[in-house]
Amino acid sequence: MSETQEDIVKKEVILTGFGGQGIILAGRILGSAAVIGDHRNSTLVQAYGPEARGGACSAQVVISDGPIHYPYIRQPDILVCLSQAGFDKFINQLKPDGALLIDQDLVQPRGATVEAFSIPSTRMAEELGRTMMANIIMIGFLSAVTGVVSVDSARRTVTESVPKGTEEMNAKAFNKGCDYGLAILKGREKKAVPKAGA
């Protein structure tokens, strides 16, 4: 029996920030984790501003159990923002029931109609001694909070995608983001369950 369109699980993710933050690498890691680790289909479309470093950039990743006929995203299920300009550009496209993930030190989610999952990814990367690893922290956070790719696949893809000699440090960054995301989910679960006798 063939799958109907309703049976196919498809998620569309936009990652956005500015050049130099590793947004495109994050998109590539996400797509590769879906294909190689989770055995799903994925596409990646990348866009840069007029100048690479410092200019706006985004990565559009489609992940699906079935064929992907169109790689461009009009209404993402998940929006990941590491810059205010990226947030301002894409927030109105996010689905009403979508997930918004932001770097809490770089993005003010003004006008967002969905609750944001926020993480100080850049600050955490600075604490690890490498600001450039904020994208890896965010991938750990994204996989933990949304489940769009499995945590194991994402972690493995991170270590295979980063420069030789930095695998351990990047795995540590990924785990930091993942643990932070799991802690947020746990906190939200506790809030949702009323205390006995309350």
Place of tokens 């894409």: 90
In a domain, 106, yes or no: yes
Question: What secondary structure does DSSP assign to 38-79, as a single string?
Answer: T--EEEEEEEE-SSTTTSEEEEEEEEESS--S----SS-SEE
Tens of pLDDT, residues 58-103: 999 999 999 999 999 999 999 999 999 999 999 999 999 999 999 9
In a domain, 1, yes or no: no
Distance CA 4, CA 25 (A): 33
> Is the pTM of the predicted complex or chain greater than 0.85?
yes
Nearest to 81 by CA among 123, 5, 18: 18
The number of folded domains in the chain is 1
Q: Chain-centre distance of CA 11, in angstroms?
A: 12
Distance CA 167, CA 144 (A): 20
In a domain, 4, yes or no: no
Low-confidence stretches of the chain (pLDDT beneath 70): 1-7, 49-54, 195-198
Would you give the DSSP letter of residue 2? P
Structure-token pair, residue 133: 């690893």
In a domain, 2, yes or no: no
Domain carrying residue 63: 9-192
pLDDT given for residue 168 in this prediction: 96
CATH of the domain at 91: 3.40.920.10
In a domain, 198, yes or no: no
pLDDT given for residue 6 in this prediction: 58
- The neighbour count for residue 185, using CB atoms within 10 Å, is 13
